[in-house]
Amino acid sequence: MHEEDFRVYKSKDLLDPSHKNLITQAMEASASSYSPYSNYQVGAALMLGNGQVITGSNQENASYPAGLCAERVALFHTASVLPDEKIMALATVAKRRADTHFRPVSPCGICRQVIVEYELKQNSPIQVILQSPNGDWIVTDNAKMLLPFCFDKESL
């Protein structure tokens, strides 16, 4: 990991306004989380090249593996309805249902794999916005830096 691959912000207010807006929309999206098993509400928001924001929330299932993370709900929805629109940035937030405050979270490994797939497909970087465990906000230059030595189509 190289320092130039991401930037650290001590406060959300120091972020680019479009990134700050993305976090706000991800927070709002977490309200639609269907998470009766984990009570862990995740929201994700994507900023597209046309300025549109697409959101998603985690969707659980009694058959646990059938559920889907908020990031992939938003990514797959976007790829389905706007397949030619570039994804510029993705923000993820999470909170426990009983809490009023959000807690630091970053995309899981499977979601990182999916973000990288779309980054390669569109041949342009997807910035990932997340909160580090100490509360700082991180903005990466691309998704691939979150998944070094990743498996991709070149592996097939």
How far apart are the C-alpha atoms of 102 and 120, rounded to whole Å?
A: 31
Strand positions, DSSP E, the chain:
6-9, 40-48, 53-57, 87-96, 127-131, 137-140
Which of these ranges, 68-76, 82-90, 115-123, 142-150, lies near Zn ion under the rule CB under 5 A? 68-76
C-beta closer to Zn ion: residue 9 or 144: 144
Rule CB under 5 A: say whether 73 interacts with Zn ion.
no
How far apart are the C-alpha atoms of 19 and 100, rounded to whole Å?
A: 22
- What track of x and - describes contact with Zn ion for positions 96 through 135 (by CB under 5 A)? ------------x--x------------------------
How far apart are the C-alpha atoms of 19 and 21, rounded to whole Å?
A: 5
- Tokens representing 18 are 């479009």
How far apart are the C-alpha atoms of 79 and 85, rounded to whole Å?
A: 8
Has 85 been annotated as catalytic? no
Q: How far is the CB of 91 from Zn ion (least distance, A)?
A: 14
Find the binding residues for Zn ion in span 22-41 (CB under 5 A): none
Of 29, 69, 75, 89, which one interacts with Zn ion (CB under 5 A)?
A: 69
From the list 71, 117, 119, 154, the catalytic residue is 71
Contact 105, 93 (CB under 8 A): yes
Q: How far is the CB of 42 from Zn ion (least distance, A)?
A: 8
Q: Which residues are catalytic?
A: 71
Q: Which residues are at the interface with Zn ion (CB under 5 A)?
A: 69, 108, 111
